[in-house]
Amino acid sequence: MSVEYTDAPAIRPEQSTGAKMACPFCGHLLPKDAQSCDRCDWTRGATETAEGKASDAVAVILSIIPGLGHIYKGHKLAGFLWMFGAIPVGIFVLLAAFASAGWGLGLFFFYLGAVMLHAYAVDDRVASPKEDEGEEY
């Protein structure tokens, strides 16, 4: 008994020649400037490599020191502003701590929470080098 799968991708993509390229999903030969494949659901904008993405979790952990998460994600100016903004916030927290018998120290955790939340939500500016386009499977 022989079972043949007609919608499965080819084992090896066909060799592209000249002004043609192989579809990254199914291996069908397409024109070099094709935006989508007519055999599968591949579109040019849908394929992204993981090399140029910064991790949101790492940015949040680095934000324990305010601003480092922003610098990690490529926002250097915002990172330094959050970092130097911690100085007046720290002074305010100390004044509030003296005025409230130590309860004002909890205000700094609100500042850290805001920094971490912003570092998590901000878009990445980290880009992969042009010579490294990533691997296609």
Query: In whole angstroms, what is the distance from residue 61 CA to residue 7 CA?
Result: 44
Residue 132 CA neighbour count, 13 Å, CB half: 8
How far apart (Å, rounded) are the C-alpha atoms in residues 9 and 24? 10
**Contact 112/64 with Cβ under 8 angstroms?**
yes
Range with the poorest average pLDDT among 33-37, 42-46, 55-59, 128-132: 128-132
Sorted by where each begins, the domain ranges of the chain are 1-47, 56-121
SS3 of 55-100: the string is CHHHHHHHCCCCCHHHHHCCCHHHHHHHHHHHHHHHHHHHHHHHHC
Q: What is the pTM of this model?
A: 0.54
Per-residue confidence band for 77, with pLDDT thresholds at 50, 70 and 90? very high
